[in-house]
Structure 1
């Protein structure tokens, strides 16, 4: 499928000939001070799966043995090295290996479950890994928590499910369940969208567009994309792409925006938020509620300068949900309640 209108995402549908990805697994970034980042990571709610002198493998309590690979920077600067997805079948992995520009097959890090990995780049140069054969952790049967002393049912105005028992909590890290999504700003928005949607089962859940007031021309500025699993529900977005705005440094083809990790619920998130405040960290934005995806959010700047988000209560979609398309209202499009978004945004 080709772009029929410049600046507009054409209708996107999944098909059997596309490479089917099962889910997002982990992100990879390098940090100038790995030890300082490690302290922040524990306060944020990660668990250290393993580490060595130059690598830190962080996990949540979900199925992935690792959801964040942090390495020591070799040049004193922070760098985002992309994200890894799990192929649905070995055949899908083999098809990925045949794509133009695919790397030779290499070993997926053992701390990330092992198996085989192939690496690709989008037109703007963002890195994408596809993995097959990774070992998983047992599926969790209950959330891990550092904040609950006793948690009963939720009493609403008309339904009282918790009777004679008390909610009791303490401050602590908001324990991470899994990597939910990440995104980046790109100077090659149309080409990058085509790369993901034509080769893989990425389908836009929502698209925001901007209108040139003089010509009336509509240009798609932001898309939230999910991995289409047919009738099975998946997260509203696994990846989002933001068209580079006017004034963006075009010598840099892309810029990492943020990565986001799921926590159990509103209480967990707020307790973790307060805990990070007591540890001396300053939030970028939040707590609030997004519109597209509906997540309750709070954003932080890690010690290296990357933006990182907790979220809870996100939307799920399947093949029955059509792509939404709405005009952007600037920062107001990003949240329905919460503190005013900072003027500089939250991008890394």
Structure 2
């Protein structure tokens, strides 16, 4: 196993009280496709992605992150990572084995330092997917996941030490200090970011669209459909990606984005960006002002699933 056992982001699994309403939002409004269903479960795919699903929804009394799933290159890498984590006293939820989820594969689960369930897998069957055509304002793939952390420095250290993530950039504020760490596992600027927040929770899940035109069409479709917009449209400096943030029916923030930066890892040096400068938050100057109200909408509810593994 290399020092970077993780290859890519696979999917984000969410538990919600109203499964039907959440599924309708993600499929009828957001543009995902229901690929598989089971009792109280819905597996939603992005039409342009080879992953079996990018969002899994589970009906539950408590809203929570069920798990964040990443890919590994081989089953041997999965085994080696599980052995290394156990030796470092990381608490395993399950031992490596065959996965009973769409696409199968070989993987295991563990808790991160704050109690989120993380899954790493290899040999998951590739889904039959297609090229997203010009003008189609639906997600191509799950771009990245951002989590809130009450201990962001420790959480960053956990993912760097144990999973081989590397720092791409940092957002800071003159009064509040370092506020967000952008972490990568491949050439994409970030697959995971960690935001300083009052509690552990989901900050947002981001979905890549085909291009600028499709991103703007999707943003407009959300606005016309009455979906509550939090922030955008605009273009960030860190990652150079576009952004439009909306709330799903359960108060989770979801983002349409495109053109996330692909970096040259051999020459890249992390930046320390002061996001009190307007051009850092939004290079275009088209988004509504980033203020305390906007920021608080992404704090989300405290995650009720910390150190409690999902039942499936």
TM-score, length basis structure 1: 0.76
Q: Which residue of 2 aligns with 1:151?
A: none
Distance in 1 of aligned mates of 2:20 and 2:173:
42
After superposition, the C-alpha distances for 1:119-151 in whole angstroms (9 at most, x for unaligned) are 1222122221101220012464x3156x45xxx
Give 1:201 shift: 2.5
Contact kept in structure 2, 1:208 and 1:328, CA below 8 Å: yes
Distance in 2 of aligned mates of 1:325 and 1:144:
35
Which structure 2 residues correspond to residues 145-184 of structure 1 after superposition, within 5 A?
147=135, 174-184=137-147
Q: Which residue of 2 aligns with 1:114?
A: 104
Secondary structure at 2:292 match in 1: coil
Distance in 1 of aligned mates of 2:210 and 2:2:
36
Q: Could you say which structure has the higher helix fraction?
A: 2
Distance in 2 of aligned mates of 1:204 and 1:95:
23
Q: Which residue of 2 aligns with 1:41?
A: 26
After superposition, the C-alpha distances for 1:269-325 in whole angstroms (9 at most, x for unaligned) are 222222223333221111111111111111110001100011111100132232323
Secondary structure at 1:261 match in 2: strand
Q: Which residue of 1 aligns with 2:287?
A: 339
After superposition, the C-alpha distances for 1:71-105 in whole angstroms (9 at most, x for unaligned) are 112x2x32112310011222221122211322323
Structure 1, unaligned runs of 5 or more: 1-15, 149-173, 213-217, 229-233
The partner residue of 1:68 within 55, 58, 69 is 55
Q: Which residue of 1 aligns with 2:192?
A: 239
**Residues 207 and 226 of structure 1, relative CA distance in 2, 3 Å threshold:** same
Q: Which residue of 2 aligns with 1:193?
A: 156
After superposition, the C-alpha distances for 1:164-207 in whole angstroms (9 at most, x for unaligned) are xxxxxxxxxx2111111011121222221111111223111112
Distance in 1 of aligned mates of 2:227 and 2:129:
32
Q: Which residue of 2 aligns with 1:298?
A: 244
Computed over aligned residues only, the root mean square deviation of the Cα atoms, in angstroms, reads: 2.2
**Residues 105 and 185 of structure 1, relative CA distance in 2, 3 Å threshold:** same
Structure 2, unaligned runs of 5 or more: 301-312
Q: Does 1:222 align with 2:180?
A: yes
**Number of aligned residue pairs:** 286
TM-score, length basis structure 2: 0.84
Which sits farther off after the overlay, 194-203 or 257-266?
194-203
**Residues 342 and 31 of structure 1, relative CA distance in 2, 3 Å threshold:** farther
Q: Does 1:314 align with 2:277?
A: no
Give 1:219 shift: 4.8
Give 1:17 shift: 4.5
Secondary structure at 2:142 match in 1: strand
Q: Which residue of 1 aligns with 2:74?
A: 89
Secondary structure at 2:244 match in 1: strand
**Residues 296 and 334 of structure 1, relative CA distance in 2, 3 Å threshold:** same
